[in-house]
Structure 1
Amino acid sequence: MSELEIVQVTAQSGYDSISLGGIFRGARAKQTAKMVEKAQICLADFDFKSAKSILTETSEFCTDLHDQDYLQWVLAEITKYEEQKIPLNCRSSREIDWSSIQSRPLKKISERFQDLPQSFIIIRVESNHHGVQFFVGRKLLSELYRNAQISELHCSLVTANMLLGCLEDLRITQNAANIFYRPFKHEEKMKIMRNMIDNMANVEITYPFPMLRPDTKEELVCPTEGWDVDEDFAEQLEAGEVILWQYSLEFLRSLGSENLRVYDPACSNGQFLENMKAGMPHGYFIGQDLNPSMVKYTKNRIDEVHCGNCMIPRVDKESVDVAFFRFLNSEIVKTDDVIPLLTAVGDVIKPGGHMVIFGHTPVLLSSSELKMLPGWRVLQSVGGGKKWKGIFQFYVIKKDLC
């Protein structure tokens, strides 16, 4: 009898203190979670066969329906990665023959609203030669997940592997989102991603479909009172933002001032601001969070922290140079609440100051909505670079001087 056969995973095997849906979903039984971690070790070595074998056997001996569904979900994501990943020996195209792409037969991809519709990527690219083009992609297993650094299958980084083709049409049915596209070849995906990295000022990533609860058709969001999590879990959630933190520090340094006042209206345990402060020691960093436990963890990490709802900022009007928003995202808030949350904080920004919007999960707005905010100007929509081999949502808007 194998090790897997003697692990009878049941509802009585022990559960973590919190269970989340969507991209944050995980195994509830501790033994199941351990086997998933073993599978991740195999994924880190690109041993997909062993990873799938571990998950399949665990599913066969698992009696908890939630965990059975979760294991099948992970297996499906591994299969998608195998189908879409670019072979290591593939070389980038020198040029893109767009007429050839447009002549290819259409393909269709669908996702039920209770699965991962937020994994669909729409990329808008402007160029002098081709005008405005729209590409479609689909999120795949994150390198951070494959290396067991995060428990969520996806992260914010969009890579060449995830590109599918030129967008032809998108349709919504009662239960699913459907996208039609003209497919790219692997070598074309590599070239197109390189072009986008070289011209990020003309690129925007959007995620048009939120995840909906199957029973109510409402967006999946965190509780109104916030997640009741400990610091270890908060650190796990923030591990997926490592690239975003690096890019955020580069952005702060690009502003040319060492004495910036920086505000995070939903600072969690304060690690993000602490990281920024380490790179900008002469700045003044202010946090605020709805959860008193998170405020307690933050207190000794930054210059100032407040407990309260971000709709009521606890800082003075026009006193902040930069505000970071890491929570206007899928599975955190509802889409309808994003602009009110953003504008509530806008009053505390100095004229000429900035608001920066990004996150581990998809941002629930687009540059079109930001362009409609009176008194603000959109500076950029994406970040990224060659060292990360991809791009991600990173909106920066600047407040008018008068």
Structure 2
Amino acid sequence: MNELAHTCGSWQRHLEPLGFGLTQLFILNTGSRHWAGRIKPLPDEQGQRRLSSILHPSMLLGPLAAHHWSNEGVALFYQAATPDAKHLAFVEAQQHAQGEVYFPYPSLRPSREEFVCPPSFWECNDERATQLNRDEAHFREHCVAVLRERLKPGALIHDPACSTGELIAHLAKALPNCLCLGSDLSASMIAHASKRFADSPVRFRHADAAHESPACDALILRFLNAEVVTRRDADTLLRTLLSSLKPGGIALIFGHTPVLPAVPWAAQQLGITLESSIAARPGKLELFQFYLLARPNT
């Protein structure tokens, strides 16, 4: 009998009604088993409770037995687990090559169609920029850590949905030997980014990533996410954009909201290597979605 068997209790059920809360359900693959979890609001630096892309062991429900869909909602059946068992699950996931967090269900409208933010949401002002830049520091720093180890001088980094420009400008400052391009479908976002980072070496342009993505050495994909696009569109965009990677190039996939495509499946179909699926800040017992893919040199 393994250690987990000594720390788990009776089987329980969590019922999530159909609606916006579905996207808060997640499954953690530790490499040896799957755990059910649900994101819950945590206090930020200002003491306000809000949702974050960073997951903590306390968000785990327990080892997953089954998940059922019905008109009531989604039911997760799981085995109750102690805090120690949940901590061990996070440790194992961090150490295992197959460790992954995935979100099976998108947010749904009352009509039960996938919820996607309207175009007006991407009209940028200072308030919207602050909202979008919040909770992004861990992504920026992890991108820098990965790209610094992988890219050669002169490499082109493309962020095809650069939003406020904060992330790609941060990369340009941290990696001055690389070329950085930020594109976005929203003219308002590009206008904000161009003005905000007028002194940055980043080249910003108004473009549709689905049709205009130059060959690049590193691709930053942080818009294939719940509430940004539908799962079907996210799948199509992922395959289209990965084709712009040069041989030996890498793609980083993450975001404020859950990543929608089945990234391991798409990578396998396209002959691209999936190197890792999760990440954490140094010294922290936490996890966040962060896929690292590499196109073979040949």
For normalisation by structure 1, the TM-score amounts to: 0.68
Aligned partner of 2:5 in structure 1 is 99
Query: How do 1:217-228 and structure 2 match up within 5 A?
Result: 217-223=112-118, 227-228=122-123
2:97 partner letter: A
Matched residues in 2 for 1:101 and 1:387: separation?
Answer: 25
Q: Which moved more, 1:106-115 or 1:220-229?
A: 220-229
Count of matched residue pairs:
294
Q: 1:307 aligns with which of 199, 203, 206?
A: 206
Could you say which structure has the greater relative contact order, defined with CA pairs below 8 angstroms and 6 or more residues apart?
A: 2
Aligned match of 2:54? 157
More strand as a share of residues = 2
Give 2:242's aligned amino acid: G
Q: CA deviation at 1:264?
A: 0.5
Aligned to 1:206: 102
Match status 1:398 vs 2:297: no
Aligned to 2:27: 122
Q: Given that residues 354 and 397 in structure 1 are in contact (C-alpha distance below 8 angstroms), is that contact kept between their aligned partners in structure 2?
A: yes
- SS at 1:276's partner residue? helix
| Residues 143 and 243 of structure 1: CA distance in aligned 2, closer, same or farther (over 3 Å) | farther
**Whole-Å Cα distance in 2 between the matches of residues 338 and 272 of structure 1?**
21
For residues 136-163 of structure 1, give each alpha carbon's deviation from its aligned partner in whole angstroms, at most 9, with x where no partner exists. Answer: 1111213437634xx8x21111111111
- State how far apart, in whole Å, the 2-side matches of 1:371 and 1:354 are: 12
- 1:340 is paired with a residue of what secondary structure? helix
Cα distance in 2, alignment partners of residues 277 and 143 from structure 1: 31
Task: Kindly indicate whether residue 287 of structure 2 is the aligned counterpart of residue 381 of structure 1.
Answer: no
Q: Which amino acid in structure 2 is aligned with residue 161 of structure 1?
A: S
Note the residue ranges of structure 2 that are not aligned, 5 or more in a row.
none
Q: 2:92 matched to which residue of 1?
A: 195
| 8 Å Cα contact 1:101/1:182 also seen in 2 | no
Task: Write out the 4+ residue segments of structure 1 that deviate beyond 4 Å after TM superposition.
Answer: none
- Residue of structure 2 in register with 1:286 after alignment: 181
Check the 8 A contact 2:4/2:85 in 1, yes or no.
no
Q: Provide the aligned C-alpha RMSD in A.
A: 2.1
Question: How much does 1:344 deviate?
Answer: 2.1
- 39, 48, 66: which is aligned to 1:139? 39
* Cα separation, 2, equivalents of 1:201 and 1:240: 26
Among 217, 222, 227, the alignment partner of 1:321 is: 217
Q: One-letter code of the match for 1:140?
A: K
Is 2:265 aligned against 1:369?
yes
Identify which of 234, 257, 279 aligns with 1:338. Answer: 234
Find the aligned partners of 2:33 and 2:46 in 1 and give their Cα distance: 32
- Paired AA for residue 107 in structure 1: Q
SS for the counterpart of 1:372 is helix
Residue in 2 that maps onto 1:264: 159
- Tell whether the 8 Å contact from 1:206 to 1:365 is kept in structure 2 after alignment: no
Kept after mapping to 1: 8 A contact 2:30/2:90: no
Tell me the percent identity.
24
Report if aligned partners of 1:211, 1:220 keep a CA contact under 8 Å in 2.
yes
Distance (Å, rounded) in 1 between the aligned partners of 2:99 and 2:283: 18
Q: For residues 287 and 339 of structure 1, what CA distance do their matches in structure 2 show?
A: 21
Higher helix fraction (1 or 2): 1
Aligned to 1:113: 18
Structure 1 unaligned blocks of 5 or more: 1-94, 127-131
- Which structure is larger by alpha-carbon Rg, 1 or 2? 1
